[in-house]
Amino acid sequence: MNTNEINLSNSGLILSKIVHGMMRLNTWNYTKKELLKLIEKDIDIGVTTFDHADIYGNYTCEKIFGEVLKDKKDLRRRIQIITKCGIVLSKKNHIKYYDTSKEHIIKSVETSLKNLNTDYIDLLLIHRPDPLMNPNKVAEAFNELKRDGKVLHFGVSNFTSQQFKMIESRLNFPLITNQIEVSPYNLSNFKNDEINFLMKKRVNPMAWSPNAGGLLFKPNDEKSKKLNNVLNEVAKELNLNSIDKVIYAWILNHPAGILPIIGSGKVERLKIAIDSLNIKLTKEQWFKIYTTSLGHNVY
Amino acid sequence: MNTNEINLSNSGLILSKIVHGMMRLNTWNYTKKELLKLIEKDIDIGVTTFDHADIYGNYTCEKIFGEVLKDKKDLRRRIQIITKCGIVLSKKNHIKYYDTSKEHIIKSVETSLKNLNTDYIDLLLIHRPDPLMNPNKVAEAFNELKRDGKVLHFGVSNFTSQQFKMIESRLNFPLITNQIEVSPYNLSNFKNDEINFLMKKRVNPMAWSPNAGGLLFKPNDEKSKKLNNVLNEVAKELNLNSIDKVIYAWILNHPAGILPIIGSGKVERLKIAIDSLNIKLTKEQWFKIYTTSLGHNVY
Amino acid sequence: MNTNEINLSNSGLILSKIVHGMMRLNTWNYTKKELLKLIEKDIDIGVTTFDHADIYGNYTCEKIFGEVLKDKKDLRRRIQIITKCGIVLSKKNHIKYYDTSKEHIIKSVETSLKNLNTDYIDLLLIHRPDPLMNPNKVAEAFNELKRDGKVLHFGVSNFTSQQFKMIESRLNFPLITNQIEVSPYNLSNFKNDEINFLMKKRVNPMAWSPNAGGLLFKPNDEKSKKLNNVLNEVAKELNLNSIDKVIYAWILNHPAGILPIIGSGKVERLKIAIDSLNIKLTKEQWFKIYTTSLGHNVY
């Protein structure tokens, strides 16, 4: 394991500390060759983990990615694939409802395997906490998928601690991540104690929208403007030429061991995140960003 | 155990899945003979569990019910009685304070036994989470009542998960229900994760006010009007002649195994609930009701 | 152990049930002789526990207190010292950030020992839940301080239940208090279930600002005015000549076993708190104060 890698929640699953998000893969308009090149560049700089979901790109992203794997069978062993299930989209690409039934989970994974041209998923997540979720049925699906080698590890996304504990109570193995929103702009998972819950359980969170969907670069409200200023100040103090690295370092400096998911189609952006692994903020810098986001000092 | 029954939280206590609420028994103005007839009709259709509280009808409902039991001793074994304690009313029938002292709990149960003309309560609940509650004293009362055979099983009502765990931590036996507000109109116990907590513990909730105190039939705010429309749409889709069955099915379809409490004096209303046990909503229908109540789509 | 004392959370640490808060010691302008007299009077009336923090008086209070201990070595064994660490002040006496690193905790305690002229702290608290807190590092610091006999017991302050559990999960010994805000005016730790969490764990809370920083004596908003009226009513009912005793009795009557921290420089105020240990409110009185603070009846 090199310094760019993490043994996720001590599960044995080695991921890159920076995860490449595939949510908008369909919009990058890459040829198969270009996408292969992107993946290989990712691997070169130390990004080997790719985050998918059945529904990304209105059910198209996994397929686009899988086209590359089809021709390059050796590539599969050099990367780790995360995917998700549990949301059902309407034909208009809106969320209709959640489905965490045993049948849906298994069917969704089988479709993912086919689309991705692989025979295993490294890490499967339930995409959202379904209010109609039956933990017994989720466990049955997970057990069957694990037994058949179709999925190696399991986690959740956007779950509260109570929901996390409910699912885990039915399993003989631990859930190894909760993919949640974390950014200097969005402190909700600090405020609701979810990050502390995961630290208590020694579970590494993954952070979606680590730069608040671009808002921290193009601020459009008072909070994002103030944050943008402070991020620039800190960047200057650290002799960094852009605030991206400050944002990622702010997340990476947290002791929970958070893996940011970077959803860009440009390897340069991933390289920025990788470089951030070596940046150390002072406590004063970290708190300046935190309290600016809070809107008040700690007291 | 027939299909109308449930082994509550795997405790061995068999209840009917539909519970008949006695909160307004005093207002129905039934003669003893009429009340007996109601109870027997209930049993005929599969409703054998009756939900009381010491304070219902300003301390009168248990007594009215007990008058019937006095003359029909065999009836007692064919039904299950839930009652509650912990609220103290003023003479004006307002809540003055809570009392969950050992003395009050035991005295309240002894009065309930006398009023109900029975020598045991199937299930005793603490009515509200008392901020002055001493879990050690509650446990002492429960232990004594259990030892003496005066109460067979114990639970709580309107408790948070933390309060539930606090009481249970002092007992050698589990609490077997939390009676909480659940309806298509009131999602509070979804939002605060209480239902997930109970599912995690494999405890069956009971739902009070399952039709939001009649508001879903006679809507008087925007939310209830929208819900009434959606409930009517779903009723139409399912070829049901009223929305009651949709409401109960919405609750009964949830995997937590929720027992709705129906507070009507008319057996026909209970029959509607019993019939709802066989109705299956699609996920799309269930979520349409849920998101209408939320006021926004799931995301 | 006399009736003024408590075995804190059954840890073996005997404290006085009334704790003398040293936050404003620097403003009392006592000579060393006067301060010694105050401490001896405290001991005479049954107040033996003194609550400090590294930062009190902009890092001066421990030193002022320690000057007295230097000359009276026998005094140390007759009192118990609580102190705290984890907040870093700027030169302008504002909170800059939190620091719960191993290095900071150990260094802070070593400074406290030196300032206080003692070789052990009875009870060390982390002053605030630091969002950058690494529970492993806090545990390493605690273990080292315990091993070296520099700190006998550990707790936290202003922590949520999740944060409490996170720290405790890394320790081989329990945390024995959470110092939180509790007063008839401030019910936040009732509402957020923290007091129930601590009762479940059999941990005694300490209450800071038990009289809401004096607001209950000099009310200046509608809530404090209403509370002041009700506190006076209850004082009258109990034939008490001031509302202080009602306030302390309201806290002391709670089954969680809460230790109020009194921050006054006058021993007479401490005596009032000690006298309150014997006052019993009726449930009706307790709830009248509680519901006045809530702003509505319990329901």
A149-186: pLDDT as tens digits: 999 999 999 999 999 999 999 999 999 999 999 999 99
> How far is the C-alpha of B166 from the C-alpha of C122, rounded, in Å?
28
Q: Assess contact for C190 and C218: CB atoms under 8 A.
A: no
Q: What is the pLDDT of residues C110-146, one digit of tens each?
A: 999 999 999 999 999 999 999 999 999 999 999 999 9
Nearest CA in chain A to B287: A97
**Reduced DSSP (H G I as helix, E B as strand, rest coil) percent helix, strand, coil of chain C, to 5:** 45, 15, 35
> How far is the C-alpha of A154 from the C-alpha of A8, rounded, in Å?
11
For residue C134, which residues of chain A lie inside 8 Å, CB to CB?
255
pLDDT at C183: 98
> How far is the C-alpha of A116 from the C-alpha of A264, rounded, in Å?
20
Closest Cα partner for A102 from A62, A61, A130? A130
**What's the token pair of residue A224?**
């994002």
Residues 6 or more apart whose Cβ sits within 8 Å of residue C83: C51, C52, C53, C54, C62, C109, C112, C116, C121, C123, C124, C125
- Please, where are the H alpha helices in C75-204? 102-116, 135-147, 161-168, 188-191, 194-200
pLDDT at B95: 78
Interfacial C residues in 88-117 facing A (CB < 8 Å):
88, 94-99, 101
For residue C294, which residues of chain B lie inside 8 Å, CB to CB?
none
Closest Cα partner for B126 from B91, B68, B75, B85? B85
Residue with tokens 């039904």: B79
Write down the mean pLDDT value for chain A: 97
Q: What is the pLDDT of residues B19-61, one digit of tens each?
A: 999 999 999 999 999 999 999 999 999 999 999 999 999 999 9
Q: What is the pLDDT of residues B98-115, one digit of tens each?
A: 999 999 999 999 999 999
Q: What is the pLDDT of residues B122-144, one digit of tens each?
A: 999 999 999 999 999 999 999 99
pLDDT at C23: 98
For residue B196, which residues of chain A lie inside 8 Å, CB to CB?
129, 160, 162-163, 166
The CB density around residue B107, as the number of other CB atoms within 10 Å, is 15
* Interface contact flag, A132 B286, Cβ < 8 Å: yes
Q: What is the pLDDT of residues A57-109, one digit of tens each?
A: 999 999 999 999 998 989 999 999 999 999 999 877 787 899 999 999 999 99
Taking residues C177-189, report their average pLDDT: 98
Residues 6 or more apart whose Cβ sits within 8 Å of residue C112: C52, C54, C62, C83, C85, C121
The DSSP bridge partners found for residue B242 are none
For residue B134, which residues of chain C lie inside 8 Å, CB to CB?
255
Please determine, for residue B94, whether its predicted confidence score (pLDDT) is greater than 90: no
Residue C35's H or E segment, with its range, is: helix C32-45
Helix/strand/coil for A179? strand
pLDDT at C57: 96
Q: What is the pLDDT of residues A11-53, one digit of tens each?
A: 999 999 999 999 999 999 999 999 999 999 999 999 999 999 9
Please determine, for residue B244, whether its predicted confidence score (pLDDT) is greater than 90: yes
For residue A298, which residues of chain C lie inside 8 Å, CB to CB?
95, 97-98, 128
Question: What's the pLDDT band for B288 if we cut at 50, 70, 90?
Answer: very high
pLDDT at C25: 98
Q: What is the pLDDT of residues B65-92, one digit of tens each?
A: 999 999 898 999 999 999 999 999 987 7
Which residue is catalytic, options A30, A56, A59, A185? A56
CA angle B230, B233, B236 (to 5 degrees): 150
> How far is the C-alpha of B61 from the C-alpha of A126, rounded, in Å?
47
**What's the token pair of residue C259?**
């230790």
pLDDT at C31: 97
Helix/strand/coil for A150? coil
| pLDDT more than 70, % of chain B | 100
Q: What is the pLDDT of residues C85-98, one digit of tens each?
A: 999 998 777 878 99
Nearest CA in chain C to A199: C166
Q: Assess contact for B142 and B154: CB atoms under 8 A.
A: yes
Mutate to test the interface with C, among B99, B102, B132 (most CBs of C within 10 A): B132
Strand-strand pairing, A80-85 and B14-16:
unpaired
Nearest CA in chain A to B281: A132
Question: What's the pLDDT band for C299 if we cut at 50, 70, 90?
Answer: confident
Nearest CA in chain C to A284: C97
* Interface contact flag, A255 C169, Cβ < 8 Å: no
Give chain C's count of helices (H) and strands (E).
12, 12
Closest Cα partner for A273 from A255, A235, A247? A247
* Interface contact flag, B136 C255, Cβ < 8 Å: yes
**What's the token pair of residue C56?**
């009190």
Helix/strand/coil for A23? coil
* Interface contact flag, A133 B284, Cβ < 8 Å: no
Question: Burial of A220 by CB count in 10 Å (0-12 exposed, 13-18 middle, 19+ buried)?
Answer: exposed
Q: How many residues are present in chain C? A: 299
Phi and psi (nearest 5°) for A115?
-60, -40
Helix/strand/coil for A55? coil
> How far is the C-alpha of C235 from the C-alpha of A211, rounded, in Å?
57
Picking from B97, B99, B163, the nearest residue to C196 by CB comes out as B163
> How far is the C-alpha of B107 from the C-alpha of C283, rounded, in Å?
16
Helix/strand/coil for B19? strand
Tell me what ipTM this predicted complex has.
Answer: 0.96
Q: Which of left, alpha, beta for A150 (phi over 0: left; psi -120 to 50: alpha)? A: alpha
CA dihedral A218→A220→A221→A224, nearest 10 degrees, is: 0
Whether A56 is catalytic is: yes
Q: What is the pLDDT of residues C48-73, one digit of tens each?
A: 999 999 999 999 999 999 999 998 98
Whether this prediction's pTM lies above 0.95 is answered by yes
Q: Which of left, alpha, beta for C284 (phi over 0: left; psi -120 to 50: alpha)? A: alpha
**Which residue segments constitute the domains of chain B, with CATH numbers given?**
5-215+256-264 (3.20.20.100)
* Interface contact flag, B255 A132, Cβ < 8 Å: yes
> How far is the C-alpha of B154 from the C-alpha of B142, rounded, in Å?
7
CA angle A193, A198, A199 (to 5 degrees): 95
